[in-house]
A and B are shown apart, each in its own frame.
Chain A
Amino acid sequence: MNAYALNEWDSRFAGGVEWRQKIDQQPGAVLATELKNNSFKLAKWTAQSILSGADVMKIGYVSRVARTNNYEHVILATQFLKPTELAQQIALSLTNIWGIVKTLADLLMTQEDGKFVFLKDPNKPTVRLYSVPQSTFETDEEEGGVGEGDGEGEGNEDA
């Protein structure tokens, strides 16, 4: 069994449903909305649960105490889901997920030793595989997007 928590932040936004009104009577409606709004997150959790061989997933429905309070939360309901059934529901096919992994692995296996980066394009449904110099993310972090410099500067400021 794996455990994950979905959270309600403000049901007025992002096509949300009011959990407190729905969850006791119609937990399915809440789950359906979450499957739509958080399909990536739930697909990841499902894949993780299948990978670890968990027979059930415990989903907790956690909401804010008040809409304007993002610090205190309450658990409104919990639910058991079977990863295999959930996978079917969200069309996460086992042959496909391993197909993705195998394709990527096969592609990389044909390459020479080195360093590579998969990057999802921020605004297009595209993933690119880059070959990057070995030193990337190691020696020249100050200049890049990973930068140590910035964080440390901040640390000094805090001190």
Chain B
Amino acid sequence: MFIYLLTFINYTARRAWAPIPGRNPSGGRGGPGRSGYPGARGGRGGRGDNQQALSGRGGRYGGRQKTTGRGAMRGGGRFQNRPGRFPDRKYQPSLAVRGEWEVIEEFDLAQLLKLQANKPEVEDLMWCGHLDQYDESFEKVSTKSARPLKRVESKTFYCVSATDDSIIEKFAAENAGNFFITDTVLSHLMAAPRSVYSWDIVVQKIDGKLFFDKRDFSGFDLLTVSETAHEPPMASEDMDEINFPDKLSVEATVINQNFSQQILKESPETRKKVRFIGFQHANGIVCRVTLCNSCVVLPRCLIYPVRTEPLCARARSRPGVCSVQIPQIYTGFDCDYIPLRVAWLGTTTW
């Protein structure tokens, strides 16, 4: 049973990376998919039949297994005795623990919320990718003038993990820091006390340097839907198949990606390239965050700043932890890919 469960989780996770098919939801098996969508490491193509694959019950978000106390999973007794639509629910781990694994530390999520550290100093080391302008017409969208969400067919979305990132590799070789991580993983840790579903992050310590990674094909980059709701969606006979958590996750991820690209003006005149380095994964910002003398974090942050002119002035003082350093604009080359997040920094003097 256990092994079956593992393979199922794996199956679901692998399937989650398959491209979203361009077909009607009621249709049969989809046609050929696009590669690397929604962005496993380096991209992975596949047939567009993930909708069927995700329709199984169980998986990471739990099936109909009987257990006690739904309150336990959200870390408070408040809802413990409240009858819900799905009173008995158990989630599956995102990863199976093996016998030889040794527990080093156990954290209570509530305990994590009490930790404090000074705001670190932040400097930008590199900006990569290119920047498109935000399409102001999206300010006028309302229910009466709703705009159809377009599918981004021509772009590939990359969600590269820290050890696979060529820029991070370069900084690691230069000993620029001792803690390498992407913004997805870092923000996941930062927001971890709010998480309900199981997740996992792999850390490698090599020569005293820490590399935080997600696992390949683990579904880490898929957005969850109504994860923290009182009655989160679940795979059950009462629900339509399209509302199963796995499917909602894929749907939300695709919507998020499509939306992020649709609000951009795609004219070459308004596009600015920021020091683009000839690697496909090199988009975003690498900044150096000095937490203390012994700990220098180098997160690679992705940004899709599509910044409008009036906002540009305000952009000079970065809120919170980051202080802006205006990047050099590099206009020398063209590239054949569109980064996941792109930025527009205005045309004022640099």
**B interface, size bucket:** 35 or more
Q: B228 contacts A39, CB within 8 Å?
A: yes
Contact with B along A21-64 (1 / 0, CB 8 A): 00110000000000011111101111110111111101010100
Residues of B contacting A55 in the complex (Cβ-Cβ under 8 angstroms):
307, 311, 314-315, 318-319
CA A76 – CA B143 in complex, angstroms?
A: 5
Task: Indicate whether A95 sits within 8 Å of B117 (C-beta atoms), given known contacts A7-B252, A51-B299, A115-B204.
Answer: yes
Nearest neighbor of B252 in chain A, beta-carbon distance: A7
Residues of A contacting B110 in the complex (Cβ-Cβ under 8 angstroms):
125
Q: B321 contacts A94, CB within 8 Å?
A: yes
CA A44 – CA B144 in complex, angstroms?
A: 31
CA A106 – CA B314 in complex, angstroms?
A: 35
Q: Is the interface of A mostly helix, strand, loop or mixed?
A: mixed
CA A97 – CA B100 in complex, angstroms?
A: 31
A16, A117, A145: which contacts B6 (Cβ < 8 A)? A145
Q: B47 contacts A122, CB within 8 Å?
A: no
Q: Does B125 contact A (CB under 8 A)?
A: no
Residues of B contacting A105 in the complex (Cβ-Cβ under 8 angstroms):
179, 210, 291, 295, 297
CA A77 – CA B283 in complex, angstroms?
A: 28
Nearest neighbor of B257 in chain A, beta-carbon distance: A5
Q: Does B203 contact A (CB under 8 A)?
A: yes
Q: B202 contacts A40, CB within 8 Å?
A: no
A48, A68, A158: which contacts B187 (Cβ < 8 A)? A48
Q: Does B115 contact A (CB under 8 A)?
A: yes
Q: Does B304 contact A (CB under 8 A)?
A: yes
Q: B93 contacts A96, CB within 8 Å?
A: no
Q: B10 contacts A146, CB within 8 Å?
A: yes
Contact with A along B8-35 (1 / 0, CB 8 A): 0111001100000001110000000000
Task: Indicate whether A130 sits within 8 Å of B291 (C-beta atoms), given known contacts A37-B228, A55-B315, A120-B198.
Answer: no
Within the complex, the shortest CB–CB distance from A55 to chain B, in Å, comes to 5
Q: B104 contacts A130, CB within 8 Å?
A: yes
CA A120 – CA B75 in complex, angstroms?
A: 12
A3, A77, A113: which contacts B143 (Cβ < 8 A)? A77
B7, B256, B304: which contacts A147 (Cβ < 8 A)? B7
Q: B322 contacts A127, CB within 8 Å?
A: no
Q: B102 contacts A131, CB within 8 Å?
A: yes
Q: B104 contacts A129, CB within 8 Å?
A: yes
Residues of B contacting A10 in the complex (Cβ-Cβ under 8 angstroms):
240, 243
Nearest neighbor of B7 in chain A, beta-carbon distance: A150
Scan residues 76-105 of chain A and give those whose CB is less than 8 A from a CB of chain B. Answer: 76-78, 82-84, 87, 92, 94-105
Within the complex, the shortest CB–CB distance from B327 to chain A, in Å, comes to 11
Residues of B contacting A155 in the complex (Cβ-Cβ under 8 angstroms):
46
Nearest neighbor of A47 in chain B, beta-carbon distance: B187
Q: Does B191 contact A (CB under 8 A)?
A: yes
Residues of B contacting A113 in the complex (Cβ-Cβ under 8 angstroms):
205-208
Q: A125 contacts B141, CB within 8 Å?
A: no
CA A133 – CA B243 in complex, angstroms?
A: 38
Nearest neighbor of A87 in chain B, beta-carbon distance: B320
Q: List 18 A-B contacts (CB under 8 A).
A: A5-B255, A7-B225, A46-B191, A52-B301, A52-B305, A53-B324, A70-B242, A75-B141, A77-B141, A103-B115, A109-B178, A115-B204, A119-B93, A122-B90, A126-B106, A130-B101, A155-B46, A158-B47
Task: Name 6 extra pairs, CB < 8 A, besides A84-B319, A118-B200, A151-B10.
Answer: A40-B196, A105-B210, A120-B197, A146-B215, A150-B14, A158-B49
Residues of A that sit less than 8 Å from B by CB? 1-5, 7, 9-10, 13-16, 19-20, 23-24, 36-41, 43-48, 50-56, 58, 60, 62, 65, 68-78, 82-84, 87, 92, 94-109, 111-133, 136-137, 144-147, 150-151, 154-155, 158
Residues of B that sit less than 8 Å from A by CB? 6-7, 9-11, 14-15, 23-25, 46-47, 49, 60, 62, 67, 72-75, 85, 90-98, 100-110, 112-120, 122, 124, 134, 138-139, 141-144, 146-149, 178-179, 183-184, 186-208, 210, 215-218, 223-233, 239-240, 242-243, 247-248, 251-252, 255-256, 258-260, 262-263, 284-285, 287, 291-292, 294-295, 297, 299, 301-308, 311, 314-315, 318-324, 341, 343
